């Protein structure tokens, strides 16, 4: 009999965890597992890539409508109060504290239940889902993201295994007090190399002629540091570099980023392309891929950019060292506009450095589809 497996993710909008899950689903052994995906929000751009043999469950079926309206009001008031008194509490924690009674438990029992994100999916699987085994995925630096170890530890204690997407993240989960290291394992985000390279050819996008093309891909949120990118662009213009920078992504900070671009008079140097179901043609068009994140769990776009053969520059968030060796397959900058601009100028003006990094990238082989999927299948089979 097949094992019944539930996977909960908030949505399949554009994001690293979402792309990793979509890459992972076809690689799970469906001869031994019956997979169901619980989605907090339907209609994400990656939903179309869910294999046909996998059932999608709409989380809204678990919402008590009347209670939801009441607790939604309380949630909104608490968020405002937290801002007023400057209480540092992650929005997902506030949501669960005020609204968990508005969500009904799932009626079905599962052999394995997987929370594929920290925060709300982790809380819901822990408290509202009946399963023989429970597995949680952590794909971000929880402390830097604003999660409280004391609040989250009791939830993680209900899981048999916590998966970190990088070795450095695994260490941080233990060091920061979220979960003991002996209950964690490392499974990197999965990337389908052949599909990424094929998708990189599927558009007629053309970059600005005769200028250096910079590309950054990611949700437009504080974590991704788009404000840092704009200030970097301002420095590059002052230094006389002929460039055009494309931002691929959307999110809560879009208006703030647009305002900063106007304030710095960079409308002719930066183009906001919005959310793209297929970001790879833009990566492929780049001369340099730039990651300005303040923190990450892995940094999947750095791996994707290298798959399409692009030299990368990244800020020095801790887990970047799981992927990048400075000066060999990319450059690592301090988390400041000055440092990032310096690295961009180096690659723009020193073709030998850029060619050295590009050559080393061409020798890399991303085998996560084979290696990491084997870990996942073994983890599920042993659970």
For position 381, what pLDDT does the model report? 81
| Strand partners for 130 | 109
Token pair, residue 188, equals 């990197």
For position 279, what pLDDT does the model report? 92
Listing DSSP states for 90-127 in one string gives -HHHHHHHHHGGGBPPPSSEEEEEEE-SSSHHHHHHHH
Listing DSSP states for 144-202 in one string gives HHT--HHHHHHHHTT-SEEEESSHHHHHHHHHTTSS-GGGEEE-PPP--HHHHHHHTTS
DSSP state of 368: H
Contact 142, 163 (CB under 8 A): no
Contact residues for 382 (Cβ-Cβ < 8 A; gap 6+): none
CATH class of 194-362: alpha beta
CATH class of 3-63+103-191+368-382: alpha beta
- Phi, psi torsion values for 129, nearest 5 degrees: -120, 135
- Phi, psi torsion values for 33, nearest 5 degrees: -130, 140
Give residue for tokens 């002719």. 268
pLDDT tens across the length of the chain (383 residues): 889 999 999 999 878 889 899 989 998 888 888 999 999 999 888 898 899 999 999 999 898 888 888 888 998 998 898 888 888 889 999 999 999 999 999 999 999 999 999 999 999 999 999 999 999 999 999 999 999 999 999 999 999 999 999 999 999 999 999 999 999 999 999 998 988 999 899 877 776 666 899 999 999 999 999 999 999 999 999 999 999 999 999 999 999 999 999 999 999 999 999 999 889 999 999 999 999 999 999 999 999 999 999 999 999 999 999 999 999 999 999 999 999 999 999 999 999 999 999 999 999 999 998 999 999 988 988 76
Contact 381, 161 (CB under 8 A): no
For position 98, what pLDDT does the model report? 94
Contact residues for 198 (Cβ-Cβ < 8 A; gap 6+): none
Token pair, residue 222, equals 């504080």
SS3 category, 27:
helix
Contact 314, 288 (CB under 8 A): no
Distance, CA of 1 to CA of 32 (rounded, Å): 7
Residues 201, 202, 207, CA angle at the centre, nearest 5°? 70
What is the model's pTM? 0.88
For position 29, what pLDDT does the model report? 86
Give residue for tokens 């006389």. 240
| Domains 3-63+103-191+368-382 and 194-362 belong to one CATH topology | yes
Domain boundary assignment for the chain: 3-63+103-191+368-382, 194-362
Length of the chain, in residues: 383
Q: Counting Cβ atoms within 10 Å, is residue 349 exposed (0-12), middle (13-18) or buried (19+)?
A: exposed
Contact 269, 237 (CB under 8 A): yes
User: CA nearest 27: which of 194, 217, 276, 160?
Assistant: 194
Contact residues for 242 (Cβ-Cβ < 8 A; gap 6+): 210, 211, 212
- CA dist 126 → 7, 83, 106, 251, 267 (Å): 12, 28, 12, 28, 47
Distance, CA of 20 to CA of 37 (rounded, Å): 14
Contact 284, 197 (CB under 8 A): no
Distance, CA of 291 to CA of 336 (rounded, Å): 12
Token pair, residue 227, equals 């404000």
For position 277, what pLDDT does the model report? 84
């Amino acid at each position: 009999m097949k094992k019944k497996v539930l996977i909960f993710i908030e949505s399949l909008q554009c994001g690293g965890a979402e792309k990793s899950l979509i890459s992972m689903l076809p690689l799970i052994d469906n001869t031994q597992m019956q997979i169901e995906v619980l989605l907090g929000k339907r209609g994400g751009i990656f939903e179309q890539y869910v294999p046909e043999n996998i059932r999608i469950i709409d989380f809204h079926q678990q919402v008590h409508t009347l209670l939801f309206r009441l607790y939604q009001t309380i949630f909104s008031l608490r968020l405002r109060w937290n801002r007023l008194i400057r209480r540092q509490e992650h929005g997902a924690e506030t949501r669960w504290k005020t609204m968990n009674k508005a969500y009904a438990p799932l009626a079905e029992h599962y052999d394995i239940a997987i929370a594929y994100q920290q925060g709300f999916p982790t809380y819901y699987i822990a408290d509202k889902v009946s399963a023989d085994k429970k597995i949680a995925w952590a794909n971000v630096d929880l402390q830097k993201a604003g999660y409280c170890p004391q609040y989250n530890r009791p939830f993680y204690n209900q899981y048999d295994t916590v998966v970190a997407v990088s070795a450095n993240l695994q260490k941080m989960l233990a060091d920061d007090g979220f979960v003991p290291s002996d209950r964690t394992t490392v499974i990197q985000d999965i990337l389908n190399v052949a599909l990424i390279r094929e998708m990189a050819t599927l558009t007629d996008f053309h970059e600005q002629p005769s200028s250096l093309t910079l590309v950054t891909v990611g949700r437009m949120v504080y974590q991704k540091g788009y404000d840092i990118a704009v200030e970097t662009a301002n420095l590059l213009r002052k230094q006389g570099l002929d460039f055009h920078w494309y931002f691929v992504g959307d999110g809560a900070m879009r208006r703030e980023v647009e305002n900063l671009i106007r304030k710095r008079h960079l409308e002719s140097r930066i183009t906001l392309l919005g959310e793209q179901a297929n970001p790879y043609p833009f990566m492929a068009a780049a001369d340099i891929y730039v990651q300005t994140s303040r923190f990450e769990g892995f940094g999947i776009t750095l791996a994707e950019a290298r798959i399409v053969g692009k030299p990368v520059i990244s800020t020095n968030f801790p887990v970047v060292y799981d992927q990048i060796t400075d000066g060999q397959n990319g450059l690592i900058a301090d988390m400041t506009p000055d440092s990032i601009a310096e690295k961009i100028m180096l690659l723009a003006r020193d073709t030998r450095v850029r060619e050295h990094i590009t050559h080393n990238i061409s020798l890399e082989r991303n085998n996560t589809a084979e290696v990491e999927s084997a870990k996942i299948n073994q983890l599920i089979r042993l659970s």
